[in-house]
Structure formats: structure tokens, C-alpha cells
């Protein structure tokens, strides 16, 4: 499972927390929860979505209650590689409020549908649509029209 | 290049490294055999501590004794279970030997099972009955926590007394899909993928054990 979904869950957690150590702990806790709960799920897609949902909740709990670590290894790595365009995209995504960022990330990176994002984040479909719309607008303001949406 | 492709290139920098993978697996192994204490639950009955220990020992012992057993993959279609960590059993009697507690087949099922899969994982015994697209999954595990593993949200919840058991039913619409109950030592659950009528539930649970 770590092999199949590790990267996806780690990346999702990182998109919330912007720190590798915090994201790793979320990945670990999500896997522990999976083993302890042994959820009954319909197929592999649901298995991944279940892990993403747990990771999203664990990440949001951390944002609410824990002091997060400041280091953003991804920013540092992109800066070191002099990948200005990628740095620009990451900084723009990172600057979004959490509710917009999670919708943007799950839609554009994970290719989840509105209804799937609604199940993962626990928000209504109408709220997801609106978060996606507002997040996209903010991204366009920051990135202008350099990247198509 | 469009935004989603750029975001893909950004996120490709975040990866589970072999060291990270090792750390996580080590930590999971440690946690899986440590007694779990819930926040605010300072008192832990001695019997429960014993049962937790027994569950961990069972995992270790069965892991040793049943090395030759096949670790079963989930059935090729239908409900998935955690991969690679289940010990397969051949019958309810065999499953009872692995679990170190008694578990019996359910009776009075609304269909004649075409396949029955017996398995054990982390202290939870599972008997999975399948016929066509219908599944009934029976679980028994230590403690009073819900062992069903069913994550669905249900709109209908009711508690009914059947044969001295206080059973909680959950479902959407007319038929309930999940029944859970517990006694002093164990928790039980029965999940019916297509739901069962009140009469069908009554039959299954009144004939239980």
C-alpha cells in the first residue's frame, strides 16, 4: 500500500503542510489508521480515496492544533534547481487559503471529480465548486494568463 | 504548458524515499503491537489489556506457525481489504484456531453462498459470504470498538433488542446494511452489501452463535 499510494498521500499532505517531516507523519498515521480500521472498500480507487480523506483530515487537524514546521523543502529544492516557472506555480498554490488549495490540488493534480472531492474533503459539492472557482480566480490573479486552466 | 502539467512537475519533487519507507514501516510495526489507549480513557480493564496482548501474540504466533499458509489477496472483484496482511483459514473451525477464540459461521443467510472466505487480521476474524453481486461480511474482534470497517455514512440508525442482544442497525432507505453489537469481550458486525429486510436480519441474528 505504501508503494501504491505512498507518493499520492505524501504529496497531498505536503500540499496542506508544506513540510516533509509533517507530511511523512501524516502518511504514517493514515496507514496506521487503515490497518487498525481495516475499512471495507469497494475497489482500489476507493482505497486511495479513503487514504486521501484520512490524510486530508489529519493534515487539517495539524494546521488547526499544531505548530507546523517552517521549512518548505519543495520551495528550497525548486529554487536550487532554478526552476522559476515551477517555483512560481508552487508559491501561487501555497498562497491559497486551505479550502481553495485542497480543491485546486485534488482537481488539477489528482484529477478527482467535484463529487469525489466532496467525499474526500467532506464539503458539499456546491461548496467544492465555489472553492474551485475562487481558487482558480486567485491563481489567475497571481499567475496571470501564463498557464491555461 | 498548462497549469495541471506544471503542478505535476512541482509535485514530482515530493517522493517517498527508501529511508522514509523504512522509517514508516518500522514505526507501523511498533504501533501495531502496542496497546492503544484512547484519549480520556485512562482506565483500561485488565481483561482488555490481556486481550490486546493476546491479539498481538496471536499475530506473532500465527505469523510463525502459519508461515506456510498463503496470505490471501482479496477476492478479484468486490470489496477490498488491506492487502497482503490477512491470514487465510479454511473454515470457521480453522479460523477459531488462528484467532484463539471461537467463531462460528452465520446461519440463516438470505442466500446460499457461492464463495466463503475465512481470514484473520489484527485480532479481527472475518467470514465473507458471496453469491453473485451480494456480499455478507461477518467480523468478530476484541473489545467494544466498531470492528465493521464500514466507512459509509448512513442516514438511518436504530437500536433493537434481538435475542438478548442490543443490536445497532445502520442503513439508507428501507433495508439496513450494517448490524453491530458487542458483549463483555468482543465486538461483532455483519455488513450486507445490498441490505437486508428486518425479517432477514432477525433470522440471521437470532440464529447467531
Task: Say what the ipTM of the complex is.
Answer: 0.91
**Mean pLDDT, to the nearest integer, of A35-61?**
85
- Alpha carbon distance A123, A57 (integer Å): 12
- At residue A29 the predicted structure's pLDDT band, cuts being 50, 70 and 90, is very high
In angstroms, the separation between the Cα of residue A32 and the nearest Cα of chain B is 6
In angstroms, the separation between the Cα of residue B57 and the nearest Cα of chain A is 16
- Alpha carbon distance A101, A116 (integer Å): 16
Q: For residue range B45-92, what is the model confidence (pLDDT) as tens digits?
A: 334 444 444 444 343 333 333 333 333 444 433 344 444 456 788 899
At B88 the pLDDT is 80
| The most confident of A1-5, B5-9, B56-60, B172-176, by mean pLDDT | B5-9
Test mutation, B9, B10, B32, B143, chain A, max A CBs within 10 A: B10
- The enclosing H or E element of B26 equals helix B18-32
Produce one character per residue of A80-102: b if its CB has 16 or more CB atoms within 10 Å, e if not: eeebeebbbbbbbbeebebbbbb
- At residue B186 the predicted structure's pLDDT band, cuts being 50, 70 and 90, is very high
Neighbouring-strand partners of residue B170? B157, B178
What is the per-residue DSSP string for B78-101? S-B--TT-PEEESSHHHHHHHHTS
At A47 the pLDDT is 84
At A92 the pLDDT is 94
Contact B11 A46 (CB under 8 A): no
Spatial CB neighbours of B192, under 8 Å, sequence gap ≥ 6: B134, B135, B136, B175, B176, B177, B178
* Residue A38, C-alpha cell as written in the block: 481495516
Select the residue of B13, B27, B28 nearest A74 (Cβ to Cβ). B13
* Residue A56, C-alpha cell as written in the block: 486530508
At A65 the pLDDT is 80
Q: Report CA Rg, chain B.
A: 20
Order the strands of the B156-162 sheet from edge to edge. B87-89, B115-121, B124-131, B134-142, B186-196, B176-182, B165-171, B156-162
CB A41 within 8 A of CB A1: no
Q: Which residues of B touch A56 (CB under 8 A)?
A: none
Q: Across chain A, what does the average pLDDT equal?
A: 90
At A83 the pLDDT is 86
Select the residue of B28, B36, B78 nearest A31 (Cβ to Cβ). B28
Test mutation, A8, A27, A38, chain B, max B CBs within 10 A: A38
**Mean pLDDT, to the nearest integer, of A1-23?**
93
The residue in chain A having the minimum alpha-carbon distance to the alpha carbon of residue B81 is A40
Select the residue of A1, A10, A38 nearest B124 (Cβ to Cβ). A38
Q: Does residue B159 have a pLDDT over 50?
A: yes
Neighbours of B81 (CB within 10 A): 23
Q: Does residue B43 have a pLDDT over 70?
A: no
**Mean pLDDT, to the nearest integer, of A61-73?**
84
Q: Does residue B195 have a pLDDT over 60?
A: yes
pTM of the model: 0.64
At B152 the pLDDT is 77
In angstroms, the separation between the Cα of residue B200 and the nearest Cα of chain A is 22
CB B154 within 8 A of CB B191: no
The residue in chain A having the minimum alpha-carbon distance to the alpha carbon of residue B22 is A2
The residue in chain A having the minimum alpha-carbon distance to the alpha carbon of residue B121 is A38
In angstroms, the separation between the Cα of residue B147 and the nearest Cα of chain A is 7
Test mutation, A3, A22, A40, chain B, max B CBs within 10 A: A40
For A75, which DSSP code? H
* Residue A5, C-alpha cell as written in the block: 499510494
For B154, which DSSP code? -
**Mean pLDDT, to the nearest integer, of B35-43?**
34
- Alpha carbon distance B178, B201 (integer Å): 10
Amino acid at each position: 500500500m505504501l508503494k501504491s499510494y505512498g507518493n499520492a498521500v505524501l504529496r497531498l499532505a505536503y500540499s496542506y503542510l508544506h513540510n516533509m517531516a509533517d507530511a511523512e507523519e501524516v502518511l504514517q498515521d493514515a496507514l496506521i489508521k487503515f490497518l487498525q480500521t481495516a475499512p471495507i472498500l469497494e475497489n482500489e480507487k476507493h482505497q486511495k480515496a479513503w487514504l486521501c480523506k484520512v490524510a486530508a483530515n489529519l493534515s487539517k487537524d495539524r494546521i488547526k492544533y499544531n505548530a507546523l514546521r517552517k521549512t518548505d523543502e519543495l520551495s528550497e529544492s525548486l529554487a536550487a534547481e532554478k526552476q522559476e516557472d515551477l517555483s512560481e506555480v508552487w508559491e501561487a498554490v501555497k498562497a491559497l487559503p486551505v479550502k481553495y488549495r485542497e480543491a485546486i490540488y485534488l482537481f488539477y493534480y489528482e484529477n478527482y471529480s467535484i463529487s469525489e472531492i466532496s467525499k474526500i474533503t467532506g464539503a458539499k459539492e456546491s461548496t467544492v465548486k465555489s472553492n474551485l472557482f475562487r481558487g482558480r480566480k486567485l491563481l489567475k490573479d497571481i499567475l496571470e494568463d501564463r498557464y491555461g486552466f | 504548458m498548462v497549469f495541471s502539467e506544471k503542478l505535476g512537475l512541482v509535485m514530482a519533487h515530493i517522493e517517498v524515499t527508501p529511508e522514509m519507507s523504512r522509517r514508516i514501516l518500522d514505526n507501523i510495526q511498533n504501533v501495531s503491537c502496542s496497546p492503544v489507549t484512547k484519549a480520556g480513557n485512562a482506565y483500561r480493564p485488565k481483561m482488555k489489556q490481556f486481550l490486546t496482548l493476546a491479539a498481538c501474540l496471536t499475530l506473532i504466533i500465527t505469523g510463525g506457525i502459519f508461515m506456510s499458509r498463503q496470505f490471501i489477496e482479496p477476492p478479484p472483484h468486490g470489496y477490498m481489504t488491506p492487502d497482503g496482511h490477512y491470514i487465510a483459514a479454511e473454515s470457521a473451525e480453522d479460523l477459531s484456531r488462528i484467532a484463539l477464540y471461537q467463531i462460528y459461521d452465520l446461519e440463516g443467510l438470505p442466500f446460499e453462498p457461492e464463495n466463503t472466505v475465512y481470514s484473520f487480521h489484527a485480532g479481527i476474524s472475518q467470514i465473507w459470504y458471496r453469491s453473485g453481486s451480494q456480499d455478507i461480511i461477518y467480523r468478530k474482534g476484541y473489545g467494544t470498538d466498531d470492528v465493521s470497517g464500514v466507512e459509509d455514512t448512513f442516514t438511518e440508525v436504530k437500536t433493537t433488542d434481538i435475542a438478548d442482544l442490543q443490536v445497532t442497525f445502520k442503513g439508507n432507505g428501507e433495508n439496513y446494511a450494517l448490524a453491530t453489537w458487542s458483549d463483555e469481550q468482543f465486538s461483532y458486525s455483519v455488513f450486507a452489501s445490498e441490505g437486508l429486510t428486518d425479517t432477514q436480519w432477525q433470522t440471521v441474528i437470532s440464529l447467531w452463535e
